[in-house]
Structure 1
Amino acid sequence: MPAHKRQNTNEPKHENKHRLTRRGVLRIGGGLAATAAVGGGAAIVMSGGDNADAAPTPTATPTATATAAFAHPGMLHAYGELNRAKVRVAAKSQPWLAGWERLTANSHSQSTWRPNPRATIVRGGTGQNYATLYNDIHAAYQNALRWKIAGTKANGDTARDILNAWSATLTTVTGNADRFLAAGIYGYQFANAAELMRGYDGFDLARFQKMLIDVFYPLNNQFLTGHNDACITNYWANWDLCNMNSILAIGILCDDRAKYDQAVDYFKNGAGNGSIKNAVPFVYESQGLAQWQESGRDQGHTMMGIGQLGAFCEMAWSQGDDLYGYDDSRFMKAAQYVAKYNLGQEVTFTKYSWRSGQGAGKYNEQTVIAAQDRDQLRPVWDVLHYHYARRRRLSVPFITTMAEKVRAEGGGGQYGPNSGGYDQLGFGTLLYAK
Structure 2
Amino acid sequence: MRRLHRPLLVTLVIAAALVPAGPGAAAPPPKPGAFAHPGVLVDKAQLDFARQQVQAGAQPQKAAYDAMKASTYAALSYTPKPRAIVECGSNSNPNNGCSDERNDALAAYTHALLWYIDRDARHAQKAIEIMDAWSAVLQDHTNSNAPLQTGWSGASFSRAGELIKHTYDGSWPQRVRFEKMLRDIYLPEVRNGAGCKNGNWELIMTDAAIGIAVFLDDRAAFDKAISIWRGRLPGYIYQKSDGSLPKAPTTCPMDTREEIVDYWQGQSTFSDGLAQETCRDFGHTGWGLTAATHVAETAWHQGVNLYAEAKDRLTDGYYFHTRLENGAPTPPDLCGGTVKLGLGAVTEIVYNHYHNRLGMPMPTTLRYTESKRPAGANYFFAWETLTHANNPR
The TM-score, its normalising length taken from structure 1, stands at: 0.74
Give the corresponding residue for 1:205.
175
Shifted more, 328-337 versus 249-258: the winner is: 328-337
Query: Aligned to 1:81, what secondary structure does the other structure show?
Result: helix
Query: Aligned to 1:324, what secondary structure does the other structure show?
Result: helix
Give the corresponding residue for 1:82.
47
Query: Aligned to 1:306, what secondary structure does the other structure show?
Result: helix
Distance (whole Å) between structure 2 residues aligned to residue 282 and residue 370 of structure 1: 22
Distance (whole Å) between structure 2 residues aligned to residue 104 and residue 178 of structure 1: 31
Q: Is the 8 A contact 1:279 1:292 kept in 2?
A: yes
Give the corresponding residue for 1:409.
375
- Determine whether 1:157 maps to 2:133: no
Q: Provide, for residues 225-269 of structure 1, a one-character-per-residue CA deviation record: whole Å limited to 9, x for no partner.
A: xx4xxxx5x31111111111121111101101111010111122x
Q: How many residues align?
A: 347
Change over 3 Å in CA distance of 1:370–1:305 after alignment to 2: farther
Change over 3 Å in CA distance of 1:292–1:215 after alignment to 2: same
**Matches of residues 9-408 of structure 1 in structure 2 within 5 Å?**
17-20=13-16, 24-25=19-20, 29-30=23-24, 64=29, 67-124=32-89, 126=94, 128-175=96-143, 177-199=144-166, 200=168, 201-203=170-172, 204-222=174-192, 224=193, 227=194, 232=195, 234-268=196-230, 270=231, 275-283=232-240, 289-346=272-329, 368=336, 370-372=338-340, 374=341, 376=342, 378-408=344-374
Change over 3 Å in CA distance of 1:180–1:167 after alignment to 2: same
Distance (whole Å) between structure 2 residues aligned to residue 127 and residue 382 of structure 1: 30
The amino acid of 1:317's aligned partner reads: W
Q: Is the 8 A contact 1:114 1:158 kept in 2?
A: no
Q: Is the 8 A contact 1:184 1:244 kept in 2?
A: yes
Cα drift, residue 214 of structure 1: 0.8
Distance (whole Å) between structure 1 residues aligned to residue 376 and residue 95 of structure 2: 30
The amino acid of 2:117's aligned partner reads: I
Change over 3 Å in CA distance of 1:350–1:310 after alignment to 2: farther
Distance (whole Å) between structure 2 residues aligned to residue 104 and residue 248 of structure 1: 28
Distance (whole Å) between structure 2 residues aligned to residue 328 and residue 115 of structure 1: 39
Query: Aligned to 1:280, what secondary structure does the other structure show?
Result: coil
Change over 3 Å in CA distance of 1:346–1:312 after alignment to 2: farther
1:432 pairs, out of 384, 388, 391, with 388
Cα drift, residue 95 of structure 1: 1.3
The amino acid of 2:292's aligned partner reads: L
Change over 3 Å in CA distance of 1:249–1:370 after alignment to 2: farther
Shifted more, 83-92 versus 128-137: the winner is: 128-137
RMSD: 2.7
Comparing both chains, which one has the higher relative contact order based on Cα–Cα distances under 8 Å and sequence gaps of 6 or more? 2
The amino acid of 1:278's aligned partner reads: G
Q: Is the 8 A contact 2:105 2:157 kept in 1?
A: yes
Q: Is the 8 A contact 2:30 2:36 kept in 1?
A: no
Q: Is the 8 A contact 2:282 2:343 kept in 1?
A: no
Distance (whole Å) between structure 2 residues aligned to residue 327 and residue 94 of structure 1: 30
Q: Provide, for residues 73-112 of structure 1, a one-character-per-residue CA deviation record: whole Å limited to 9, x for no partner.
A: 0011101110001111111111111111111111111111
Q: Provide, for residues 42-61 of structure 1, a one-character-per-residue CA deviation record: whole Å limited to 9, x for no partner.
A: xxxx85xxxxxxxxxxxxxx
Cα drift, residue 386 of structure 1: 1.5
Q: Is the 8 A contact 1:409 1:429 kept in 2?
A: yes
Stretches of structure 2 that go unaligned for 5 or more consecutive residues are 1-9, 243-270
Q: Is the 8 A contact 1:19 1:322 kept in 2?
A: no
Q: Is the 8 A contact 1:310 1:380 kept in 2?
A: no
Query: Aligned to 2:273, what secondary structure does the other structure show?
Result: strand
Q: Is the 8 A contact 1:117 1:165 kept in 2?
A: yes
Query: Aligned to 1:325, what secondary structure does the other structure show?
Result: helix
Query: Aligned to 2:205, what secondary structure does the other structure show?
Result: helix
The TM-score, its normalising length taken from structure 2, stands at: 0.81
**Larger helix proportion of the pair:** 2
Change over 3 Å in CA distance of 1:392–1:167 after alignment to 2: same
Distance (whole Å) between structure 2 residues aligned to residue 134 and residue 404 of structure 1: 26
Cα drift, residue 338 of structure 1: 1.2
Stretches of structure 1 that go unaligned for 5 or more consecutive residues are 1-13, 32-45, 48-62, 352-366, 412-421
Q: Is the 8 A contact 1:297 1:369 kept in 2?
A: no
